Structure 1
Amino acid sequence: MDWNRWYSLKSYLRSSLWTVPLIAVAIYALIKPLTEMLGRWMIGQHLLDPKTGFFGLSMTGARSLVGDIVSADLAFLVFTFGSLLVAIQVAGGQYTPRIIATTLLRDNVIRGTSGLFVFALLFANRTLAWMGEEQVHQLQVFLAALFGFASVVAFLFLIDYAARFLRPVSLVARVGALGIAVIDSVYPAPATGRIAALKATGERRVPDRIVRHRGKSGIVLAVNLKRLVAKGRRTDSVIELVPQVGDFVAVGEPLFYLYGNASAIDENRLRALVALGTERTMEQDPMFAFRILVDIALKALSAAINDPTTAVLAIDQLQRLLSVVGKRSLYLEEIEDSSGQVRVIFRTPNWENYVHIGFREIRQYGAGSIQIARRLRAAIENLLQSLPEHRHHALLVELDLLDRVIDKQHLFPEDRALARIADSQGLGGSVTSSSGD
């Protein structure tokens, strides 16, 4: 299987809810025969009384207990998947549809509990069908009761977990944590403050060969950089990926520019090192985390929802991400092999791109809210204090734009003065009062 197909399959399985229940079915198929063999062995070794067993249940009592477990697990499954569908609709409508695949469907707690319900249901149903007219399979009944009790506990935990998980603060914090993990993987080196110069600019002005996209149009999800570097070194060439991760590429558009010994490269194998899909993912796309948070803030600031406090929570995470990415070296355009030769050109967003997506749209839509204006100022001032000096220019531009839009949005001088106070809470802090107690 080509790398891009394997990556797309792996990404799909990670965001699919049905995979864990399917694994639970496979585990059941393995565990159930083993427990039946163990039960027979324990009876044969007189370690288990076939009449009294663990609970001392009669046939009627055992059938009733296991039947209740089957009914309970079936109800748990129906309730879980029905509630998840409602949660997806609510989250997509009030926050952004982009959090569905990145957070809701990838949550291991939801997937794991649904797998437990499936396993307990199958185990109890098989135990009920396996019981004869005269003998109660005590070990099977005991295990079915144990799995049923675990299902009840897991169901109660899932209700509490889902109620907490779907809160705005939990969702934006989850996106922020995922964004930091991606930043750590894409930008591992700390910022140096120096602007690097391209080593092979003259060689790459006119490509020797252009590799165009074939197949289906899609969004660039990830690139196998190690194999690209190895391919460039093996053929003594330079490979430039034209789109960035997260860009849409239509059929026939340039996918690679090749320089040097370009004729030695197989186009199909080169295309196989780029994974494309219908929806952006976070694996190699740190900008996508910013996009999700900004979308949540913009949806909260819309007239239909009008929830600026949720937008403030999103700005909290944007400040968190900017404070991390601002301390990393963002220059990864030229990737060298072990001998120091440039082999791959791979463009990533620069600092200005991150600042623009973090502040521009929120300022345009939310500067009329004093709460948003104050929180944006607090974020910018905090970043100015915590980030190195070479990151300040883009932040100062945003601060100047914020001051200008405040003058335009607020007619009264008192409102303008209040909007210019940096407040990490939006409204509720960082205000010096002249009144008495």
Structure 2
Amino acid sequence: MFNSRHTLRSRLATLRSSFWPVPAACAAGAVLLAIGLSVLELQVGLPGGNVLPSGLAGARSLLSSIITAMISFTALVFSITVVALQLASSQYSPRVLRTFLQDRVTQVALGTFLATALFSMVVLAALPDRSSARLPELSLAVAMILVLMSSGLFLYYLHHVTSIMRVSHIVAAIGAQTRRSIDEHVPRTGAVETPERLPPPVRVITALEPGLVDNIDLGRLARLARTHGCAFSVLPAPGDFVVAGQSLVAVHAIDAVPPSVPEARVRAAVTVAVERNAGQDVGFGFRQLADIAERALSPGVNDTTTAVRAIQEAHDLLRRLAGRPQRAWLVRDDDGTLRAHATPQTFDSFLAVAIDDVRRAGRDQPRVTRLLDAVLADLRTVALPEHLPDVLRRLQG
């Protein structure tokens, strides 16, 4: 629904975080490898060296058994993955499902099983009709190697999936993902730059569909602004929800003539998605951790230790952000003319999710309230002056 307006960068990020590319690449590679080996052995006459001496009937039986086993393996892995997703959704938060879908071990396991089955299917189809004809022995050997790899990977997958379902691994994965977003989108140092006051907007471009702001391509907006002699201000921050018809981008006239800009191209620079994703939306990590803590503190679960673990991970993230300046996202021309402007999420908004929401849910749990007070006390020692009032207000309240 929203893909038509995704920028190239957001599409690549979505592709990297999707579940299907790795299995699809494994499957496609297996088919190409099987075709290539079959052509080399049966058409070119590549020497096989009697790697797997067997008759035509034995080769067909071997490949049929491999295909059946790999299909069963694939169905089992898919079933276990679905069960893991259901448990994670019900026990922790629906927003942690993406962590499981992005797990490379699961993707590689499923891709390897598919690759083995498809490779064997292609080799089986390439077998000669006459029993006296030469068999693709090298292809049969590769099929056996893939079976051995699949068996070992299946054992490791069983161990891995039981590990990643533990709450400590889930919380650590969310923290690692959020730290990458912080390092990429929140600078460590630098003076706080206040953009000059732009002239009143001559036009406001609205959202066509409801959704969450996923990615803002300021470089693209800046190029459009230079072409049309104007400046753009993105009004919502990443992670904000916009409704159809809500103001999305303000257009400011820089030249004397009011600009005429193509609305579709401006909207394409602000990706609106159906769900929040890590990246520019640093607050998504705090939302996931707060969800885990709040659910753990609910009367139906009453798992204070899990809530404490989520707060500890949020503490590390807040401590990193407390020492980094709050800067607007700006793109200027070489002469200093401001062309594109956006406001990222604030440190206060992170505290509101990680501290305020969890404190409200755990107000009857002394371990939680003491830990939250200790987190704020620690943040006070490292927070920059611009962040300190937000911390002190919560300590005093």
- Tell whether the structures are fold-level matches, with TM greater than 0.5: yes
Query: Cα 1:80–1:147, aligned 2, differ >3 Å: closer, same or farther?
Result: same
Which residue of 20, 38, 58 maps to 1:36? Answer: 38
Task: Say if 2:239 is the partner of 1:240.
Answer: no
1:365 pairs with one of 361, 366, 370: 361
Contact 2:290 2:358 in 1 (8 A): yes
4+ residue stretches of structure 1 with deviation over 6 A? Answer: none
Cα contact 1:77–1:114 (8 A) shared by 2: yes
Per the alignment, residue 93 of structure 2 pairs with 96
Check whether the contact 1:91–1:97 (CA below 8 A) recurs between aligned residues: yes
Q: Following TM superposition, by how much is the alpha carbon of 1:67 offset from its aligned partner in structure 2, in angstroms?
A: 3.0
Q: Which of 312, 318, 321 is 2:314 aligned to?
A: 318
Distance 1:242 1:389 in 2: 26
Q: Which residue of 2 aligns with 1:309?
A: 305
Write out aligned runs for 1:81-92 (5 A). 81-92=78-89
Q: Contact 1:8 / 1:277 at 8 angstroms: preserved in 2?
A: no
Is the 1:237–1:343 Cα contact (8 Å) retained in structure 2? yes
Kept in 2, the 8 Å contact 1:7–1:275? The answer is no
Unaligned runs of 5+ in 2: none
Q: Are positions 1:169 and 2:163 aligned together?
A: no
Q: Contact 1:217/1:251 (CA < 8 Å) preserved in 2?
A: yes
Q: Aligned partners of 1:119 and 1:394: how far apart in 2?
A: 54
8 Å CA contact retained: 1:65, 1:145: no
Which secondary structure state, in structure 1, belongs to the residue aligned with residue 6 of structure 2? helix
SS, match of residue 158 in structure 2: helix
Map 1:367-406 to 2 at 5 A.
Answer: 367-401=363-397
Per-residue deviation, 1:395: 2.0
Which deviates more from structure 2 when the two are superposed, residues 364-373 or residues 32-41?
Answer: 32-41
Distance 2:384 2:248 in 1: 35
- Give the partner amino acid of 2:308: V
State the number of aligned residues: 389
Seq. identity, %: 28
Q: How far did 1:15 drift?
A: 4.2
Q: Residues 301 and 307 of structure 1 are in contact (CA less than 8 Å); yes or no, is this contact kept in structure 2?
A: yes
CA deviation after TM superposition for structure 1 residue 393, in Å:
2.8
CA RMSD in angstroms, aligned pairs only: 2.4
Pair 153,5 (structure 1): closer, same or farther in 2 beyond 3 Å: same
1:184-223 pair list within 5 angstroms: 184-190=183-189, 192=191, 196-200=193-197, 203-204=198-199, 206-214=200-208, 216-223=209-216
1:4 to 6, 10, 14: 6
Cα deviation for residue 213 of structure 1 reads: 2.1
Return the offset for 1:366: 0.7
Work out which structure has the larger RCO, using CA pairs closer than 8 Å and 6 or more positions apart in sequence: 2
1:153 maps to which residue? 152
- Once residues 295 and 86 of structure 1 are traced to their aligned partners in structure 2, the CA distance between those partners, rounded to angstroms, is 20
SS in 1 for 2:259: helix
Q: Paired residue for 1:418?
A: none
Superposed displacement of residue 34, structure 1: 1.2
Asked if the contact 1:120/1:148 (under 8 Å) is kept, the reply is yes
- Distance in 1, matches of 2:220 and 2:63, equals 54
> Please, which moves more after superposition, 273-282 or 234-243?
234-243
Q: Which residue of 1 aligns with 2:249?
A: 256
Give unpaired runs (5+ residues) of structure 1.
402-437
CA distance in 1 between partners of 2:121 and 2:31 (Å): 13
Q: Which amino acid aligns with 1:111?
A: Q
Q: Does residue 74 in structure 1 map to residue 71 in structure 2?
A: yes
Whole-angstrom CA distance in 1 between matches of 2:382 and 2:341: 31
1:280 partner letter: R
TM-score, structure 1 as length reference: 0.82
Q: Which residue of 2 aligns with 1:421?
A: none
Q: 1:9 offset after TM fit, Å?
A: 4.4
Indicate conservation of the 8 Å contact 1:73/1:120, yes or no: yes
The answer to whether the Cα contact below 8 Å between 1:211 and 1:267 also exists between their aligned partners in 2 is yes
Equivalents in 1 of 2:329, 2:162: separation in Å? 43
* 1:293 aligned residue: 289
Aligned counterpart for 2:52 among listed residues 50, 55, 59: 55
Indicate if the aligned counterparts of 2:205 and 2:247 stay in contact, CA closer than 8 A.
Answer: yes
Contact 2:38 2:126 in 1 (8 A): no
Residues 381 and 57 (structure 1), Cα distance of their counterparts in 2 relative to 1, 3 Å cut: farther
Give the Cα separation in 1 of the matches to 2:210 and 2:10. 14
Q: CA, structure 1 residues 199+48, in 2 after alignment: closer, same or farther (shift >3 Å)?
A: closer
AA aligned to 1:371 is: R
Going from structure 1 to structure 2, the CA distance change for 1:57 and 1:341 (only over 3 Å counts) comes to: same
Match of 1:226 in 2: 219
- The answer (yes or no) to whether the contact 2:7–2:269 under 8 Å persists in 1 is no
Normalised by the length of structure 2, the TM-score is 0.90
Structure 1: distance between partners of 2:111 and 2:172: 26
Cα separation, 1, equivalents of 2:386 and 2:22: 47
CA separation in 2, counterparts of 1:6 and 1:156? 38
Cα 1:16–1:185 shift into 2, 3 Å: closer
**CA 1:8–1:72 in 2, change beyond 3 Å: closer, same or farther?**
same
Aligned with 2:347 (options 342, 348, 351): 351
Task: Find the residue that maps to 2:38 and give its secondary structure.
Answer: helix
- Rounded to whole Å, the distance in 2 between the matches of 1:61 and 1:268 is 61
Q: Contact 2:210–2:244 at 8 Å: present in 1 too?
A: yes
State the Cα distance separating 1:57 from its structure 2 match.
Answer: 3.6
CA deviation profile, 1:57-97 (whole Å, cap 9, x unmatched): 44454444333322221111001111111111111111111
Q: Name the aligned partner's letter for residue 244 of structure 1.
A: A
Decide which moves more: 25-34 or 170-179: 25-34
Q: Which amino acid aligns with 1:142?
A: A
2:62 is aligned to 65
